[in-house]
Amino acid sequence: MLLDADDSQLILVDYQARLLPAIHDHAAVLANAVRLGEMARLLSVPVWGTEQNPDKLGANVPEVRALCARTLAKMHFSAVADGLAEALRPAAPPPRQGGAGNARSLPRHLQKAPPAPAAGRNTLVLAGCEAHVCLLQTALDLLDEEFEVWVVTDACGSRTERNRDAAFDRLAAAGAELLTTEMVAFEWLRTAQHAQFRAVQALIK
């Protein structure tokens, strides 16, 4: 199974200015997060951000915040507990109120089919900090919400490598797909003939 850009949403979890300096290899982690956001914009993939207790930890760094169409402030470690799943999955339109009579009493060829639910993007590409806390808990809850969850390992970080790697082990066991920034790029593109191929390729060179 490959990523499909038309079904994807990108979520950048807690790249906060006061937190990042404590993250192992934080410069590379942040650089890959920014690449993901820029690729998503080029390919019309919606980008969301989260910030953990921003009054204490501050906002996401400007280069991440600028890439996000919306940033969700949260107090729970899992952003799902603060409304992320509802934001990612648009509500189906309310059923139409029928006019006179019951449509089911009409002959079958005259019955009007109900409108289809609003189309949503069910594939979630996640990256963030700390991998073993907010990223992990958000990803596990999104899996419980029946989203497809893909975690971009080289754009995730924790204060220690051990905590980060333990998060990846647990996520894989729970059913999340693990991949890298370049894997996301080339799966979203699928072909060197894509109109944005050169622009995306320039981001990862």
State the Cα angle at 103 between 97 and 104, rounded to 5°.
130
From residue 103, alpha-carbon distances to 92, 117, 189, 204 in Å are 21, 19, 45, 56
In the predicted model, what is the mean pLDDT of residues 85-108?
A: 59
- Confidence bin at 108 (pLDDT 50/70/90): very low
Domain extent for 180 = 5-90+120-204
Residue 39 lies in a domain: yes
- Confidence bin at 92 (pLDDT 50/70/90): low
Residue 175 lies in a domain: yes
Residue 150 lies in a domain: yes
Residue 50 lies in a domain: yes
What is the domain-level CATH number for residue 188?
A: 3.40.50.850
pLDDT at residue 104 greater than cutoff 80: no
Residue 96 lies in a domain: no
Pairing of strands 177-179, 8-13: unpaired
CB 141 within 8 A of CB 176: no
Residue 114 lies in a domain: no
Residue 24 lies in a domain: yes
Residue 115 lies in a domain: no
Any idea how long the chain is? 205
pTM (predicted TM-score): 0.85
Task: Give the total number of structural domains in the chain.
Answer: 1
pLDDT at residue 51 greater than cutoff 90: yes
